[in-house]
Amino acid sequence: MYFWNSQALARQLKTGSLSQRERVKYLVATLLVVTIATYVRSWSSYRIAVSETLVAMVATVLGVWICFSANEQGDGKDFTDRFICLGWTTSIRVGLAFVATRWLCTHLVPLAFGDAFHIRDEYRGIFNLGEGLLI
């Protein structure tokens, strides 16, 4: 895996000598960098933020690996293209599910339980995650 030599990477992509397994490494690395950058930006409580970041990183790697394994059991072709394209529609669905869950937790649950239900400030970021997917 290249970290700096873009020309050598471009040459491998052009000649088709970069395997699907190698391409997945670049995808995972890119997603991890984006995940870390997203969470570091929103750290308010260090302990909670580090926990959220680690969970997101594990979920990212595990999710990509599960998708890659499923693709390998199929025809094993064009994984990164499929992942990116199908990831778009999946992220819309997941984002809407988070927004719906947040709305339920911030509007309907307090109506049902009154003042007994409060979201602590350090956990509020969990409910804001879905909004980031849609904005």
For 115-124, the pLDDT digits (tens) are 555 555 545 5
Q: Which of 69, 83, 98, 76 is nearest to 30 (CA)?
A: 83
Q: What's the distance, Cα to Cα, between the start and end of the chain in Å?
A: 32
Q: Is the pLDDT of residue 112 over 70?
A: no
Residue range 32-52: mean pLDDT, rounded = 72
- Can you give the pLDDT at residue 17? 92
- To the nearest 10°, report the CA torsion of 59, 62, 63, 66: -160
Q: Which of 16, 9, 55 is nearest to 35 (CA)?
A: 55
Q: What would the pLDDT profile of 47-57 be if each residue is shown by its tens digit?
A: 777 777 788 88
Q: What would the pLDDT profile of 59-85 be if each residue is shown by its tens digit?
A: 888 888 888 888 888 888 888 888 887
Q: What is the pTM of this model?
A: 0.56
Q: Which of 57, 48, 36, 61 is nearest to 126 (CA)?
A: 48
